[in-house]
Copies of this chain bind each other. A is one copy, B any other.
């Protein structure tokens, strides 16, 4: 494992815990077990690492979701519900372990560091897009007449999760995320009605 990988991997944990601005380059080096020289060999600035961390986060989570089981069900609504189950299964007791690096960074640096804002936001919208197909098919099959479109529902799904992470940081635990996912599930079940 190269120093670059160690730094990127460590940055996920450290930045999610302390936030981007409060994280110092020395913090990252200490957590990664490398020296400052190695840091600036691989990243030309702290901002450069911030952008790389957001991209790394996107690839990291992208792989996690792409390889998950929730794509299995034949029915698109079942896949969406399985996605929500999967999101719940990712929750753990420690807040920094389940919250979103992209959301954290985005909220912090959106006005000051456009490069990081773009990279972090892209990782969120990219992930939202992976849900659109399933929503599209579910809407076609089960959507009520007043059902919003797939893009909007996919985005709203992420909105609810991001908001829940903020509240979870207040409570110090994941319970509120479970509750928000339950609301989302209920909303979807009211919009997408299986004939019976």
Docked-complex contact A166 and B19, CB < 8 angstroms: no
CA distance A191 to B184 in the complex (A): 12
Contact with B along A133-176 (1 / 0, CB 8 A): 00000000000001010001101101111111111011110001
Is A88 part of the contact surface with B, judged by Cβ < 8 Å? no
**Contacts of A146 on B, CB cut-off 8 Å?**
186
| Band of interface residues on A | 35 or more
Minimum Cβ distance to chain B for residue A166 (Å): 4
From A107, A120, A165, name the one whose CB has the most chain B CB atoms within 10 angstroms. A107
CA distance A186 to B156 in the complex (A): 12
Q: Which residues of chain A have a CB within 8 Å of any CB of chain B?
A: 17-19, 21-22, 95-96, 103-104, 106-112, 117, 120-121, 124-125, 146, 148, 152-153, 155-156, 158-167, 169-172, 176, 179-180, 182-183, 186-187, 190-191
